[in-house]
Structure 1
Amino acid sequence: MSSELISNTNNKNNYKYCLIIFFSFLTLYSVFFIIGVFWEKIPNYCVSDECAYFANAKNIFKGIYQDPFKDRLVSPGFSLVIAPFLLLDFGRRSIVFFNIVLGSFTIVITYLTSKIFLSRKISFFITIIWGLYYIKFQQLFTALTEPFASFLIISIFYLICRKKIKKDALNSLKIGFVLGLLLLTKPIFVYVVILLFILISIWLLFDRKFFPIFLSLILAFSMTLPYQSYTFGKTGKILFFSNISGESLYWMSTPYKGEMGDWNNDQFNSNCQSLENSGPNCNSYLIEKNHGEFFRSIENLNMVEKNQKLTQKAISNIKQYPIKYARNIINNVSRLFYNIPSSYFYQRDITILRLIPNSILFSMILFSCLISFKKINKYPSEMIFCMVFIFIYIALSSLVSAYARMLTIVVPFILIWSFYSINLWRNYYELKDKF
């Protein structure tokens, strides 16, 4: 059989497997979606953070955007994507289903990326793990940004790994465009890109292999300039993507005993089912005791000034209580995996559902780190780049109040890297046994 015929056969098989994967999980998720609608667990009105994205999306077609001094300002990436749904007067459920479709595509791209490094059998196994990774369901069946961000991240890694890291102007443009959408969706990746830009700039002094990625980073950052120009024109501040970032750093810097660095709101009731709830997890009075006076002192400020005061107070706390901040970072790493601990919060039995899969994931990461450290020369350069990308992101996430959903969006590639590491370890010992 000629090489061309083998290639065509492989392509047909890939298409077949991708279609099977996509429609299998789309069907499964659709059943869950229908059940959720039937039992009124998926309402047609916005919930929590979704409302800010919906408001922004509606404003886009009016030619305006949120006022950073008056409104809760979030980056426009996801709002741009969902704007057509709201223009056509589709409700929240249509956007939830859109996220389900994106989630199904993410599984397919995870399979294709895995297959670059691993066998089809292992790639299928990774695909099933990610498809049934029920921790992501909490965001998958919402109109939040996480399914879209996860789709963008694995797409970036697929484009990098598919073409390897070589001079390919079109592929560099594709990577830059998708990465630019990610920066406009999750601003923390702006700082990931800045750090990568610095690292690659230094590396280029010795090896020009990463120059195409360097160009992709420039393009991605350039895509944020119109939005940055808008926020700079309004506030006079550079790299101003949100007027709520100070909140996350403030709560992370809390110096008080018994507080773990988890986020709360200015009413201190984020853990309350409702304002009337007086159950053990409605801990607002405990948090208000430590933070009420400060929040009352800034309650009449506009959103930009309030964000600035929160940031200043957070920096002051970190300088005065660095050890407590370090402890909060450790708590944060735990929250990335398990969503615990939380300040003054009684744990629920449902927590065990998160502990089981993510304890396995955490163990796989530790094992893979050890193998990567010992056998780094056995890893393809494109995988090393993706690993660095993920670890910079996780490191930055641990510095501000973080939750499991922030880890979930990078789990697909963590699985690929982990199984590649396990495969390296297994092959090494099989080869050693032969001799």
Structure 2
Amino acid sequence: ILAIAQGSSELNISVVLRESDVKSALQELHSEFRLEKLRPLPERVEKHVDLVTLGSGQIGRSFIRQIIGQKHFLAQTLGVSASCIAISDRSGPVLNMKGFSESELIDILEIKAQGGKLRSGSQSTLGKPQNPAEQIMGVVRKDLFTHAVQKGIVVDVTGDDTHNMLLEFIEQGYHVVLANKRPLTVPMDAYKHMLERAAARKVAIRYEATVGAGLPVLDTIAKLQSAGDQIETVLGCLSGTLGYISTQIGAGVPLSQAVREARQLGYTEPHPADDLSGLDVARKALILSRTIGRNLNLSDVETKPLFPERLYHADPDIFVQRLSEMDQEIADMVQKGASQRLVPRYVARIEKEKLSVGLEMVSENSPLGRLQGTDNQIVIRTRRYDSNPLIVTGPGAGAEVTAAGVVNDVVAIATSYFGV
């Protein structure tokens, strides 16, 4: 501080700083006095949210398109306006603190659809790529956190470990919406710390799209719990990819052929082993488990992959070829089950003493047994819904439905925050 003076009215203080210190000083003032809670700037409507989107892959682009498409509905029906002030990819974020215009957003979507980068110069001086998180947060700290954002929501649609990044956003007063499962499956101590910091900063963390895409799974569980019900068990088919493969092998298609078809249809990850390992389903099961109050870690999930480790190969084509060694074993299991009116399903089980995911033979007349194709299903048994459990079924995969779940969470925060 070079100089400081108090006004004659005793209602204002003037401070003179070096220009290089202005941004950091403003940041400290806003943090100390929580100025983000003040009314918006005059040119902003009162019910306004600023969106920061981490990730611009298929889900991220679908989310932005849906925000554009629902602009008039949000304004006319809920009295809420939303602006995208920052969008990031692995090269870093692009920012516009007044909000990107619709035409600018469309240009950004086109760049990403063609495989382009949002920022140039993402290489270090040594010619090596910077860590994506460092690349993003370096710009965010310098150019975003130094501005007053009254109603900020950070939307994480990446597949990266963004836990520490989200903590920084929370400390800056941002609400959090997730389609990314990884921040919710960190070790329990880190998970609890994130929830505690969010509570201390009075911001929400919503993550409906992490389980069942756009299906109202977590919202249903939350409503049951708020009504005083007790969740006893949750069973579910939580992977559209594994749902399709299970349906196919149940119909007599060899495992290797079913996986090959799923790849051709675009249902699998670039490497099918990422789906067949069961890890993604294990993460979803852990999120469900923690949501109903179980203090468990990812290592506590009993995970049964659809293939033995010896068949893995880094080349996805070779890996799929090797899966043919499993064809007869799977066919025998399916045939034996069929004689007992059982069908194969990849099931997540959240029970009192057990948390597991793996291929099971279930009754063909059960809700899970009647499930077909890529649809997801969650069977919730509670103290009240015991003999006749509550079932949520529908599309559980795809960028559009997942993005719709993200939009629903954004709207829920906006309407709750403003009391609409």
Q: Does TM, scored on the shorter chain, surpass 0.5?
A: no
Q: Normalized against structure 2, the TM-score is what? A: 0.27
Q: Which structure has the larger Rg?
A: 2
**Higher helix content, 1 or 2:** 1
**Higher strand content, 1 or 2:** 2
Q: Normalized against structure 1, the TM-score is what? A: 0.26
